[in-house]
Structure 1
């Protein structure tokens, strides 16, 4: 009952607001119909707007989205899980914030009122009774167990029961499709959710329970799917009605104005300038069904509030400006030569060439250069002059040379460092200062084949790999680090019987590994030195 009352209040507040908007020139709105309406229509202005977007700025309230209908009307809709706060022009609010906002057999879940006794509320075979927004789960007569999880049939007693209690719902005294529940040893017949009729005789399944059960944009009313636009007098005279999201939307059609809940009439563009919405000293003209305001000649200002002359004397103009024909103008326009500077002194233009420029300010001022290519290759263009780019470009002890107008700083031979900061004599320690070797490798100063100093990269003991790239920990350092049938060579566990050149034993000899060492022997039927060669035994 509480939810129904709140629904009615939403409808009344929406109707009052629409009426207030109609009295103040509002021409579009949404028909008040259902309590959970999620959309309203609202124009951006009282007149037909040409190419302007009625949703910018948005006329909708918080928690809404604005979209434009095919008639160019702003349509306000509530976001998911929100309902109008009176109407969507004011904004939208959650359907509920606590259980007290919902009927007794509903509770508040994620800002929506949902039935308490729905699938899964109680255990298997249990009965559900909603009270104070909570599910009361009980096992029916003849069942036992935890009603929140499962009720099982009560096993028959070992001793015969002479006075078995009578189930008032067996046989079922209710009508077709009706539910029978026991309260105080009396049967109570009710129609299930989504059904209607007399539970004593017959319950019939309705077409719908809520609006989303209906196809298209039809809405649910009294378990029936209806077109809300077919409700008599839902919209005003000559108004159009369309359904959106199961809601009726009333609006005045193309080139029509008025209150869509009262009446609509054809729009006359001449009304836009009669009376004129513009200010004083302005002109009003109708263009593309819009009133366009403009100031009269030689007047400035906001044509919506009023226009005025910019000036009547020089004193009313900003500095460096003069008054001419009620307008402040710049006396420097066209007074000086190309590239010259102009300064206004006592209303007169004074011309001069900029710093580093050459020429006559009355005719033309020009720089010595504007790009490096305007200067010789050993010079560069700085501050519009050709200068030596090496001056102050390099660090202490560095040398500089110019190539293609650019200074190139470098440390002399036998020196190192940052040529833009300072250069110092080169030492052998500099070879490994920034460690040019790979990850995990060691760097030591050395010499190349020509006797020149160079860094030497090596992997540490127990590591393998390319020291220029990276060194990784080897598998072993001693034979005992490997399994019995392997030995440690180059920090890797390998079969000691074979090398890159082949077997370590002689021809036709066999090799076995014992205690990480290769053992050579001649096979049965063969004689000889197994380290050199084995031959078949004679006779």
Structure 2
């Protein structure tokens, strides 16, 4: 469109030349949606850009194929980390060891979730390329007709006939025929061909053509043109509407609104004293209340999650803390609660209800509920615990719990212990009345485990017996002599010197001792296996407390009580002289009879899912874990609320200042590389406008030459 003698221009060069629900494709404003989205996806045009989303109830790549969403997996079904996919559009997801591994689809660039094709619209390609099937390609191929030449300007193919040729460059160009020769015999119609140019009418006046512009066109032939083609053809206070420069305000604003035109665009504002949406309806501003008291809650002096009433702050229900600094919920993670509680829905509660199975017990260890079957029950504590089958009654006296020197008898299924006859004490500490004489009075000795007088039958005839330190000491009375252990007789008045007596007869060493004569004197020592010092030789032990805590008194010797005490697969430990049996690790049962391998425990409850899987973040945001809480953050060069959606700096030109254009989602100067040699570039309403420098003329998009003369 335009004046062919000055320059024709396509319907559009950039998408910003089209309505927001259209895009500039091959210099035509059209719907960019057809063929863009995949199966079961719908397309919406937002600021000239086609946006694909899966239909409700469907998931997948909206640019490839959407499939019906699968029902959520049950607790017993393995969770597919790729369903739904966390990888974003233009990407593929693979399950590797129950982890989602993301990668971009072939011929797509970037890293998930930011995979993208090489281009979606032509503005993402170099100036001499256009976006075709998501690829930057030369748009000239197959565009122009036979004999025509093609140039790419601002992504669009421009077809034109070469010099000295004419015709439709989109169909065929041919050489300009020479003008017909004038003959005398045949009159020539001066209007064939018309010299008037396009959009004009030619009338023959005599033999001369008379040119005039057609209705609704302005100018003078051969430069007849519509009053306008784009807004910039009109003054800044008018807009191009159906090729006429008209006031764009009528019908644009709502009730009680006024309109002014700014750079061809109607701008609506509410009238003085009115407020609201100027494009729909403005309503009168209510008069201010007389002498309104200052609101102590505006601005609020309260912190986060607090409410203000009459200048007094209080925490919101179910929140706690200092309302002037900030209130918080009772908990955000388990460690905010006592070890017997868990953080559920921001409250510290008992995690047990509904966790364990029937007849099961629930214990909370470090915030985590642990299920177990009660005593006398067996089964899966997360499903059902059932009573154990009664085992045949065991003999409570096998093995005997009574200890040594005791008897065990069964009374009503219970072991009853008693000391053997002739022994004293109480089980498990039954013992004889004595084992060594030291356990008796000084005037008695231990004989046959009884404390008795050791004198009877010990001394000889006419000898006297005295008990000294438990030992019977025989001696002859004064005036008597002889062997007090055999016979004493009166000392004769005249007698030869007595022969030396054996100092070991009688033995002065006491019981359980041996006597040897060393240099005429008795030498005493305890017999094997007795210990002590004569005359107090005694067995190593008679009761277990006389042994170290790790030994027991067995046959009057301190020995290890473990051998033969415990059953198979059991461990034995000596505690306070007694053998204590316990099953070895991985075994269970009666350690005194035999332990069996412990059955495999029930499968543990599924561990809590990773806070970032699936991601709670919006589009173009990444998730990271801090203190077991998912924290969302916008990707680099994106902005917005990461929990809802992050977006780039711009999606369309209208989001940039008037001297910038949205190029690759950034507001940038569109001029670099646009204009030709000796030309200058100015950006007007996001569009680069090229003009030759002063003193130059020519094609400002290619080369301007100096004006000669």
TM-score, normalisation: structure 1: 0.29
Larger Rg: 2
TM-score, normalisation: structure 2: 0.23
